[in-house]
Amino acid sequence: MSVADTMTADPLARPHTDSVAAFVPDQSRAERTASFDVSAFPVPTGREEEWRFTPVKKLSALFAEGASDGLAWTDSLPAGVTVSPISASDARALGILPPQDRAAVVAAASAAAVLVDIPAEAELAEPVRVVLTGSGDTASHGHVVVRAGRHSKATLVLEHTGLAQHSELVSVVTGDGSDLTVVSTQRWSDGSVHLAQHDALVGRDATYKHVGVTLGGEVVRLNANVRYAGPGGNATLLGVYFADAGQHLEHRSYIDHNAPHCTSRATYKGALQGATARTVWVGDVLIRAEAEGTDTYELNRNLILTDGARADSVPNLEIETGEIEGAGHASATGRFDDLQLFYLQARGIPEDEAKRLVVRGFFADIIREIPLADLRDEITAAIEEELASTAYASANPAANPAANPTAPNADGQTVTKEN
């Protein structure tokens, strides 16, 4: 592993007291406000625990109330899947989780909700695709409600592209025994701002997986939350992110173990490149007293490719019962490993390509978790594109031709091929 200083904190030995810097924190994650009422959430100042890492000054348009347009919506629906408007009251009747911050509550209040309905027992060989495209920097809001019927098996892909100032609530309710994967890609143009809360109420004995792939945008904050509707649920929250100079990419996960015999995994991996690249991961896990037999683990790894980038990583684990199967968390942020680079270069691989190879390998275990081979290839290609567009600061393209005169290298660029 490229990270030298692995830190695995023992929650019992080391209570998390670092958040008291500016505020007295909530005694428990459970006490954090959750409501459909906009007035329950004051406009954040940046000093709040849940906003202290985020550049709130750039987000004021998304904290303000008022009707707005949504993003352009294009979908591709396998047979049986429907998309239709749904009223706020009908959506709430499905059991969707309430908003947990100002941006999410404003999104829920401002947007007309859309229901993506996956019928019971449907087994979809193709993903449900929704492409959301922004076309300007005026504020927009969206509320997507997803219902996965009992014993259905499906994958939903939400693609975010274009230029936008977008606040979004995605409310997933999965039926008993269902198996749903939600892949959300954030490939915004530069200058975009995206605040998102993606919730899931996971059905009894259901399997839910959420994969966040965040590559583009100036500020992206994606909060993935899980609660359980009954025992036996299994939730996996995954994320990969690559921050270049000028980007703030933030991922938060909150798994509320409120039912017995449920499992959860949260794994987020980020790479940072450029002096002002910034990433944040905050992973909260709460195991309530009634959640006996819980098995949970959360992990965050960050790979710093150049000096000056900053990755914040905060795993929080609260345990209210001793009757659990297991609970753990780990976080490590490390510089690029020079030994790995030397080893690969000593096999003839140019520095640029060697770095890409290491980053690709670093993300590999998360990509492997994406269902459907075509989709996996697509996400891999998106990451490849991001890596290819990344010029490493210390790369030395000019020196190549002398060493390898036969290389087709007339333009003086480092030639790299992938096949």
Partner 1 sequence: MSTLEIKGLTVSVETEDGPKEILRGVDLTVNSGETHAIMGPNGSGKSTLAYSIAGHPKYTVTGGTVTLDGEDVLAMSVDERARAGLFLAMQYPVEVPGVTVSNFLRTAKTAIDGEAPKLRTWVKEVKEAMGNLRMDPAFAERNVNEGFSGGEKKRHEILQMELLKPKVAILDETDSGLDVDALKIVSEGVNRAKGSSDLGVLLITHYTRILRYIKPDFVHVFVDGRIVEEGGPELADRLEDEGYDRFTSSATV
Least separation in angstroms between residue 358's CB and partner 1 is 6
Least separation in angstroms between residue 270's CB and partner 1 is 14
Nearer to partner 1, 93 or 364 (CB): 364
Nearer to partner 1, 219 or 341 (CB): 341
Residues 161 and 195: their CA atoms lie apart, in Å, by 14
Nearer to partner 1, 61 or 395 (CB): 395
Residue 63, Cβ neighbours under 10 Å: how many? 20
Residues 94 and 299: their CA atoms lie apart, in Å, by 31
Least separation in angstroms between residue 6's CB and partner 1 is 13
Nearer to partner 1, 2 or 155 (CB): 2
Nearer to partner 1, 228 or 363 (CB): 363
Least separation in angstroms between residue 414's CB and partner 1 is 10
Least separation in angstroms between residue 344's CB and partner 1 is 7
Nearer to partner 1, 60 or 404 (CB): 404
Nearer to partner 1, 171 or 267 (CB): 267
Least separation in angstroms between residue 240's CB and partner 1 is 12
* Closest to 311 measured CA to CA, from 284, 280, 282: 280
Nearer to partner 1, 55 or 401 (CB): 401
410: left (phi over 0), alpha (psi -120 to 50) or beta: alpha
What are the tokens at 75?
Answer: 């979908």
Nearer to partner 1, 69 or 337 (CB): 337
Least separation in angstroms between residue 18's CB and partner 1 is 29
Axis-axis angle for helices 351-367, 373-388 (nearest 10): 150
Residues 260 and 295: their CA atoms lie apart, in Å, by 10
Nearer to partner 1, 73 or 343 (CB): 343
Q: Do residues 193 and 217 touch, judged by C-beta distance below 8 A?
A: yes
Positions touching partner 1 (CB under 8 A) are 1-2, 337-340, 342-351, 353-354, 357-358, 360-365, 396, 399-400, 402-404, 406-408, 417, 419
Least separation in angstroms between residue 410's CB and partner 1 is 13
Axis-axis angle for helices 351-367, 338-345 (nearest 10): 120
Nearer to partner 1, 233 or 350 (CB): 350
For tokens 């998360």, name the residue. Answer: 366
Residues 89 and 107: their CA atoms lie apart, in Å, by 15
Least separation in angstroms between residue 96's CB and partner 1 is 36
What are the tokens at 18?
Answer: 């670092």
Least separation in angstroms between residue 397's CB and partner 1 is 11
Least separation in angstroms between residue 407's CB and partner 1 is 4
